[in-house]
Amino acid sequence: MTAVTVGGTSVLLVNVDGDVRAYRNRCPHQEWALDEGDFDGEIITCSRHLWEFDARSGAGRNPATCSLSVFPCRVDEVGMIHVDVR
């Protein structure tokens, strides 16, 4: 799990079993940077109030009523990660 800036937007990149996912690098609760939290391979946990999100989908696990903003992304043939923040 790492944060990068794409077109002025902070993006959280997560590798889940070889699949790269891209999310807005902010917890929907209080806009805390998610890259300061934890990632156990399946769950992203915000360091501020311990909200949890499914790393594959961005769906909230605790609480289940929220989710992360997802950005489309792909990894090209040379391993470059492309993220669409539009």
Query: Per the domain annotation, does 40 fall within a domain?
Result: yes
Q: Which range of residues forms the domain containing residue 44?
A: 2-78
Tally of domains within the chain: 1
pLDDT for position 42:
97
pLDDT for position 82:
97
Query: Per the domain annotation, does 86 fall within a domain?
Result: no
Query: Per the domain annotation, does 83 fall within a domain?
Result: no
**Distance in Å from the first CA to the final CA of the chain:** 22
Domain of residue 42, CATH code: 2.102.10.10
Query: Per the domain annotation, does 71 fall within a domain?
Result: yes
Query: Per the domain annotation, does 28 fall within a domain?
Result: yes
Q: In a structure prediction context, what are the per-residue pLDDT tens digits for the chain, which is 86 residues long?
A: 999 999 999 999 999 999 999 999 999 999 999 999 999 999 999 999 999 999 999 999 999 999 999 999 999 999 999 999 98
Query: Per the domain annotation, does 69 fall within a domain?
Result: yes
Q: Tell me the pTM.
A: 0.93
pLDDT for position 12:
98
